[in-house]
């Protein structure tokens, strides 16, 4: 356990955290960037990135985050592999307690923890993350051109992801565990009116299975009907 004083502490080491660290370091503020529970953020589970400026060809998400962190360290950022478990923001300087037991004392705190995907928690899902299973339609939708895609969820995020994917996929299946969607009425109407979208209610995904067909890989998702408990198997590529 140690008390560590830093002019600037940044929570999170994804693109936002790394950018903040670079600017703070160039301002001679000697920032400390605490990596958090997912060092590098969600880009570390994105295999190919095509919407980041400056690269004509697709690049790997983990590689991009390595470069961002290396740049931040190069200009003077101290990168710490730790997690903050509590913070006292009622008085200055702020006091942050890390999982390691160290205490960080700072006048300026930048919170760049970003968002985390709401995964299903399936072992098979974990196996295929970045290889057909994605949590970001904007990031990965381009790779499913002309294919069948499944989206799990019934809120606004799932609805918007499904609608976005119709720009690329031949068909989008929206799977929701309840008898009605939670998305707002505008998004619901857009889903219903889109000929590429099929909605399956009262169903949950039990497993993600890959089956080789020709030169492609077919992802099959068995779903369990919550009410009737009957099973249904359909196929998709994402």
Phi and psi at 96, nearest 5°, equal -115, 130
Q: Contact 5/106 with Cβ under 8 angstroms?
A: yes
Of the listed 3, 88, 102, 139, which one is catalytic? 139
Q: Is 140 a catalytic residue?
A: yes
Distances (CA, A) of 60 to 44, 45, 50, 182, 235: 8, 9, 9, 34, 27
Question: Of residues 136, 170, 184, 206, which has the active-site annotation?
Answer: 136
What is the spatial distance between Cα 182 and Cα 86, in angstroms, rounded to a whole number? 33
What's the rounded Cα separation, in Å, for the pair 111 and 87? 12
What sign results for the dihedral spanned by CA atoms 139, 145, 149, 151? positive
Q: What is the rounded distance in angstroms from the CA atom of residue 191 to the CA atom of residue 154?
A: 11
Only one residue has tokens 């095509």, namely 50
Choice among 140, 216, 231, 236 that is catalytic = 140
Q: For residue 82, indicate whether it is catalytic.
A: no
136 assigned to active site: yes
The residues assigned a catalytic role are: 136, 139-140
């Amino acid at each position: 356990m140690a008390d560590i004083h830093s002019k600037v502490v940044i929570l999170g080491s994804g693109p936002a955290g790394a950018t903040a660290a670079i600017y703070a370091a160039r301002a001679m503020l000697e920032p400390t960037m605490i990596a958090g529970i997912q060092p590098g953020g969600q880009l570390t589970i994105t295999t190919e990135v095509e919407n980041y400026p400056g690269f004509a060809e697709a690049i790997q998400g983990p590689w991009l985050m390595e470069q961002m962190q290396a740049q931040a360290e190069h200009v003077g950022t101290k990168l710490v592999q730790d997690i903050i478990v509590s913070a006292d923001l009622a008085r200055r300087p702020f006091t942050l307690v890390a999982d390691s037991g160290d205490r960080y004392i700072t006048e300026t705190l930048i919170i760049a923890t970003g968002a985390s995907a709401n995964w299903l928690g399936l072992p098979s899902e974990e196996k295929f993350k970045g290889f057909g299973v994605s949590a970001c339609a904007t990031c990965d939708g381009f790779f499913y051109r002309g294919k069948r895609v499944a989206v799990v969820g019934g809120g606004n995020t799932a609805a918007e992801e499904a609608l976005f994917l119709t720009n690329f996929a031949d068909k989008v299946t929206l799977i929701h565990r309840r008898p009605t969607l939670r998305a707002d009425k505008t998004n619901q109407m857009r889903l219903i009116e889109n000929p590429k979208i099929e909605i399956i209610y009262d169903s949950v995904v039990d497993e993600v299975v890959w089956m080789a067909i020709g030169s492609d890989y077919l992802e099959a998702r068995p779903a369990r009907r919550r009410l009737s408990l009957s099973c249904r198997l359909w196929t998709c590529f994402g």
